Chain A
Amino acid sequence: MQKVKFDPKRNYRETMAQAGYVARKEANRQTYDTIGFMSGLEVHQQLLTKEKMFCHCPAGFYNHSDDYDAEIIRHMRPTLSELGEYDGTALMEFKTRKEIVYRIKNETACTYEIDDTPPFPLNRESLEIALEISLLSKLNVVGEVHITRKQYLDGSIPAGFQRTAILGVEGELELPHKKIRLIQLSIEEDSCREISDIGHTRTYKTDRLGMPLIETVTYPDCVNPDEVMETCNYIRFLNRSTGKVRTGMGAGRQDVNVSCRGGSRVEIKGVAHTKWIPELTHNEAFRQWSLLLMRNRLKTRVPRPGKWKIKFLELGGNLQLENRHLKKQAKAGLKLIAVNLPYFLGMLSWFTQPGKMFANEISDRLKVIACLEKPNLFHSEAFRSKLTKKEWAAIATFLKAKDEDAQLVFWAAEEDVKTALETIEERCLMAFEGVPEETRKSLEDGTTIFERVLPGADRMYPDTDSAPIPLEDAYIQQLSQNLPEEIIDRYKKLKRWGVPEDTYTYIFSKNLFPLVERIINVLNIRPAFVGTFIGHGLKYAEGRKTTSGKCDYENIYRLFRYLKEKGLHEQLAEKMLPEIIEHPKLDFDSVLTSIKFKRIEKDEIISKIPLLKEKFNGRGGSPGKGDERNWVMGQLRNLALGNMDLTELSKMI
Chain B
Amino acid sequence: MSNDIFQGYKGGALDVLKKYKVRVWGTTKVDTTRGTFEGTVLPRAENDDDQHIVVKIATGYNIGIDIRTIHSMKETGYKKANYKIPEKEFPYTKGLPKVKLFGTGGTIASRLDYRTGAVIPAFSPGELYGAVPELADICNLETEKVFAVFSENMGPRQYIALAKAIGKEIENGVDGIVIGHGTDTLHHTGAALTFMCQNLPVPVVLVGSQRSSDRPSSDAALNLMHAMKAAGESDIAEVMVCMFGPTSDEYGLLHKGTRVRKMHSSYRSTFRTIGDTPLARISRKEIVPIKKNYNKRRQDKAVKILPYFSDKVSMLYYYPHMHPDVLDAMVEKGYEGIIIVGTGLGHVNKELYPAIERAQKKGVHMYMTLQTLWGYTHMFVYDTGRDMMARGIVPAGNMLPEVAWVKLSWILGQTKDPAKVKEMMLDPVNDEITLREPYNGYLVYQGGVPEVEEFVRNVHK
Contact = CB atoms under 8 A, between A and B. Distances in A.
Interface of A: 68-84, 86, 90, 106, 111, 114-118, 139-146, 148-153, 158-161, 164-166, 169-170, 183-184, 186, 217, 456-462, 464, 467-468, 470-473, 476
A646 to B, nearest CB: 54
B60 A459 contact: yes
Nearest to B80: A83
A470 B63 CA distance: 10
Interface stretch (B81-89, B182-190, B193-201): B81-89
8 contacts: A77-B216, A77-B217, A79-B218, A83-B81, A146-B64, A457-B58, A457-B60, A468-B48
Contacts of B33: 473
A519 B264 CA distance: 58
Given A72-B248, A117-B266, A142 B83 contact: no
Contacts of B456: 69-70
Interface string B115-131: 00111000000000001
A164 B61 contact: yes
A117 B118 CA distance: 16
Interface stretch (B65-73, B91-99, B154-162): B65-73
B266 A111 contact: yes
A160 B211 CA distance: 11
Nearest to A78: B216
B151 interface: no
B459 to A, nearest CB: 9
B102 to A, nearest CB: 23
Interface stretch (B34-42, B140-148, B307-315): B34-42
Interface stretch (B49-57, B286-294, B370-378): B49-57
B215 A159 contact: yes
Contacts of B214: 79-80, 461, 464
Nearest to A147: B62
B18 interface: no
A184 B61 contact: yes
A458 B60 contact: yes
Contact of B215 (A81, A160, A217): A160
Contacts of B210: 116
A116 B267 contact: yes
A73 B460 contact: yes
A69 B69 contact: no
A457 B59 contact: yes
Given A140-B34, A170-B36, A470-B66, A79 B58 contact: no
Among A73, A83, A117, max chain B CB count under 10 A is at A83
B76 interface: no
A76 B112 CA distance: 19
B247 A116 contact: yes
A73 B249 contact: yes
A142 B63 contact: yes
Interface of B: 32-37, 48-49, 51-52, 54, 56-69, 81-86, 111-112, 117-119, 131, 210-218, 221-222, 247-250, 264-268, 447, 453, 456-457, 460-461
B34 A141 contact: yes
A75 B249 contact: yes
Contacts of A106: 447
The 4 closest A-B pairs by CB, nearest first: A144-B64, A160-B216, A140-B35, A143-B66
Nearest to A170: B35
A620 to B, nearest CB: 78
Nearest to A157: B217
Contacts of A184: 57, 59, 61
B62 A169 contact: no
Given A69-B456, A140-B35, A116 B266 contact: yes
Contacts of A118: 266
A118 B267 CA distance: 10
Given A146-B62, A165-B61, A170-B36, 16 more contacts: A73-B249, A76-B217, A79-B216, A80-B84, A84-B82, A84-B83, A142-B63, A169-B63, A186-B61, A457-B58, A458-B60, A460-B62, A468-B48, A468-B52, A468-B54, A471-B66
A159 B461 contact: no
Contacts of B265: 117
A247 B400 CA distance: 54
A159 B212 CA distance: 11
A98 to B, nearest CB: 11
Contact of B61 (A143, A144, A148): A148
Contacts of B83: 80, 82-84
Nearest to B134: A77
Contact of B250 (A73, A142, A456, A467): A73
A468 B217 contact: no
A131 B58 CA distance: 21
A105 to B, nearest CB: 10
B216 A69 contact: no
B460 to A, nearest CB: 5
A543 B141 CA distance: 69
Contacts of A80: 83-85, 111, 214
A83 B453 CA distance: 44
A146 B63 contact: yes
A459 B59 CA distance: 10
A140 B249 contact: no
Given A140-B36, A141-B34, A77 B62 contact: no
Nearest to B222: A75
B249 A460 contact: no
A464 B36 contact: no
A324 B461 CA distance: 44
B105 to A, nearest CB: 16
Contact of B52 (A153, A456, A461, A470): A470
B396 to A, nearest CB: 32
B221 A77 contact: yes
A165 to B, nearest CB: 7
Contacts of B36: 140, 170
A464 B112 contact: yes
Contacts of B52: 143-144, 468, 470
A83 B27 CA distance: 14
A22 B381 CA distance: 92
Interface centre among B36, B68, B214 (most CB of A within 10 A): B214
A336 B248 CA distance: 34
Nearest to A166: B61
B51 to A, nearest CB: 7
B64 A145 contact: yes
Contacts of B461: 70
A203 to B, nearest CB: 12
Tell me which of A84, A145, A161 has the highest count of chain B C-beta atoms within 10 A of its own C-beta: A84
B34 A143 contact: yes
A281 to B, nearest CB: 22
For A70, A183, A459, the residue with the greatest tally of chain B CB atoms inside 10 Å of its CB is: A70
Given A80-B111, A148-B62, A143 B69 contact: yes
B36 to A, nearest CB: 7
A158 B112 contact: no
A56 to B, nearest CB: 15
Given A73-B460, A470-B49, A464 B212 contact: yes
A72 B460 contact: yes
Chain A CB within 10 Å — which of B32, B64, B67, B268 has the most? Answer: B64
Contact of B64 (A77, A217, A459, A470): A470
A159 B217 contact: yes
A215 to B, nearest CB: 11
A531 to B, nearest CB: 36
Contacts of B213: 79
B48 A69 contact: no
A83 B81 CA distance: 5
A17 B134 CA distance: 50
A90 B216 contact: yes
Nearest to B266: A117
Contacts of B62: 146, 148, 166, 460, 462
B69 A473 contact: yes
A144 B221 CA distance: 34
Contacts of B81: 82-84
Contacts of A140: 32, 34-37
